[in-house]
Structure 1
Amino acid sequence: MSILAGAPWLLAHRSMLGINKPQKLSLYGIDYVLWQDKTGKVNALPNACPHMGAMLSEGWCHEGKDQTSVVVCPFHALEFDGEGCTILPGSQKKTLPQLAPLELIIQNDFIWSYGGHEPQIPIPNILNEIASEYELIGHTADTSVETDLLTMLLNMHDYNHQNGTHRPLFRIEEVLFKSFSDQGHHSHAFYSMPTASTNLVEKLTNLDSLLLPKVIEAHLENYFPFLIIFHVENDLGKAKQIHLFVPESETRTRTYVLMYGLPKNPVFRLLGKKFLNFAKVVVEQDADILHKIYPNTPQKIKLNNEVGMDWVKRNFASWPQVTEPNLSKQAD
């Protein structure tokens, strides 16, 4: 399967769900309805009502006396609990499950799933570690992109596209690769990106430019195939910009960003929305360029420092095993 069965996928953070607000999500070509009740219980069922196929995510939740809730079909108001059972009109008896729940793994505020497949790799503890030390700034850029998972991952690990795709945002002049550490399904990449200088008029008309250093020092920590962490540190504080990926189908990939911060200066908290906006624009620019690529074009040119892309290709081809060679390298 080209969407890597047996990998864990972070479907959502609790802050993205709300209470008793059903929402649609897709995984491995199946649509689900996801909702959270007041007790904190999170439920996920196939989104098609087993009566006449209405989208349950377009319905609403009905709360019981114990604050648990059921999802209600918008067509005939049939109610389904988290096990997929309902009570038919005129009957007081609960049916057997009519919908098979999607198995979820809840770790604190993180909602994971293997999509019904046998786990092939464990869920890393890195997000729990970040959440225990850093404050949640928020989430942004929840986007469904019309591209397959491999193409999405190759783009995200293409360090050379920073001064092309993201030049309008960061005014990056070049990418100076430093090192890549290959640890199987886990890796680290380090590189520097000098940015173009701005004059006073440009700074006053675009205050966001004041947040950009003269040289962006990039440290990307990668967990194949589901997340990338961009580690950021400056005089104001530290931030963890976490990019997530979910294979909605063979041809569509969902991506979104979670951001955490550790302030050193009170100003850092005031800039939270600015940080989120930067991340949102990055995702929008990536999604835009992915719509402007001819698929299956033979790659006749190979640039320096495509080691991150080579790492993705290797892990994709050998999934779930990790094969040699080790791709760790230093800058030439």
Structure 2
Amino acid sequence: MSMLEGAPWLLAHKSMLEVNKPKKVSLYGADYVLWQDRTGKINALPNACPHMGAMLSEGWCHEHEDKTSAVVCPFHALEFDSEGCTILPGSKKKTLPQLEPLPLIIQGNFIWSYGGHKAKVPIPNILNEIASQYEFIGHTADTSVETDLLPMLLNMHDYNHQNGTHSPLFKIQEVQFESFTDRGHQSDAFYNMPTAQTSWREKLSNPDVLLIPKIIKAHLENHFPSLVIAHVENGLGKIAQIHLFVPESKTQTRTYVLMYGLPKHPAFMVLGKKFLNFAKIVVEQDADILRKIYLNTPQKIKLNNEVGMDWVRRNFENWSEIVEPNLSK
């Protein structure tokens, strides 16, 4: 159960799919080709062509008169429709399905999948709520990291690594933990992070640091296992920075960020790309440190406020049951 079968995973936001351009995604050790036709329909098939195994994601799409499309194998140009059927050369008759479509659940712009497994927990509704109230800013940092799912989740819920992993840009001095509320597969963490003063030379060389407050007030809303929402607010507006996780295989985990904003000032959305860049740097720093960890090292030291990591371990080890104790503090 190292990949938490039965959990819902957000494979992509529709904005991540160009019309009629195949995209490779991986889930539970299997590769799929994902594409969006001109009608807005999302299709997903196993990525290996059943003829000689070419990657369909390296091919292209052929659009039909009704604006639907088929994915085309780059090796022998065989076309596969959304049902996995093709028409062999010299024949005008469609074959039976040669590829089994990956079951998808489309909610607005969100593309979810259980990877063909029976659902054990429902899809969290929080993203639909955010999309209905906030404006979409964009996506960033779509990254595949050579690590299994558990270290990725532990890192994201490690409230002590901010002044280490993320110190180069944000210059976080310490983490002042406030509270953690445990609701089973949901939780909320609140903490403050004072930042060091930047010099004028640093401000001139990188004006983006002017957007970093003296104290970063963090609220992480966690939905185990697939998403963490960082709620950030300043005088210009509110941001919902959504970190997503997808178990590509037992040793490979994908992460990316969706960002939504609620403006209070006209300049807020103009700064959207800068906010996205901050998120991109955070993911790059997290991915970098995960590549530099000896994962099997016994943990002989425990720091204060590792409650988020304890919450992850409890839910991971007991998946999909919710087991006491309640870790609120």
TM-score normalized by structure 2? Answer: 0.99
Describe the superposition over 1:169-205 as per-residue Cα deviations: whole angstroms up to 9, x where unpaired: 1100000000000000000000000000123333222
Q: 2:253 aligns to what?
A: 253
Per the alignment, residue 327 of structure 2 pairs with 327
Aligned to 1:86: 86
CA distance in 2, matches of 1:84, 1:198: 56
| 1:134-173 → structure 2 map (5 Å cutoff) | 134-173=134-173
Question: Could you list the runs of 4 or more consecutive aligned residues of structure 1 that deviate by over 3 angstroms after TM superposition?
Answer: none
Structure 1 position 221 matched with structure 2 position 196: no
1:124 — aligned with what? 124
Count the aligned residue pairs. 329
Cα separation, 1, equivalents of 2:272 and 2:62: 35
Three-state SS of the structure 2 residue aligned to 1:288 is helix
Q: CA deviation at 1:206?
A: 2.0
Counterparts of residues 91-130 of structure 1 (less than 5 Å): 91-130=91-130
Aligned ranges 1:31-42 → 2 under 5 Å: 31-42=31-42
Partner secondary structure for residue 74 of structure 2:
coil
**Amino acid paired to 2:81:** D
Q: Deviation of residue 90 (structure 1)?
A: 1.2
TM-aligned CA deviation for residue 209 of structure 1:
1.2
- Residue 313, structure 1, aligned to residue 305, structure 2: no
- Structure 1 portions without partners, runs of 5+: none
What amino acid is aligned across from residue 310 of structure 2 in structure 1?
D
Give the corresponding residue for 2:175: 175
SS at match of 2:140: strand
Look up the SS of the partner of 1:292 in the other structure.
coil
Amino acid corresponding to residue 157 of structure 1 in structure 2: H
The CA RMSD over aligned residues, in Å, is 0.6
Once the two structures are superposed, residues 88-145 of structure 1 have per-residue CA deviations (whole angstroms, 9 ceiling, x without a partner) of: 1111111111000000000000000000000000001110110111111000000000
Distance 1:180 1:28 in 2: 31
Matched, 1:21 2:21: yes
Partner of 2:19, secondary structure, is coil
Q: Within 2, Cα distance between the matches of 1:212 and 1:60?
A: 43
- Distance in 2, Cα, partners of 1:253 & 1:2: 12
Can you give the 5+ residue segments of structure 2 that lack an aligned partner in the other structure?
none
Counterparts of 1:206 and 1:49, CA distance in 2: 47
| Secondary structure of the structure 1 residue equivalent to 2:43 | strand
**% same residue:** 79
In the other structure, the counterpart of 1:60 is 60
How far residue 83 of structure 1 moved from its aligned partner, in angstroms, is 0.6
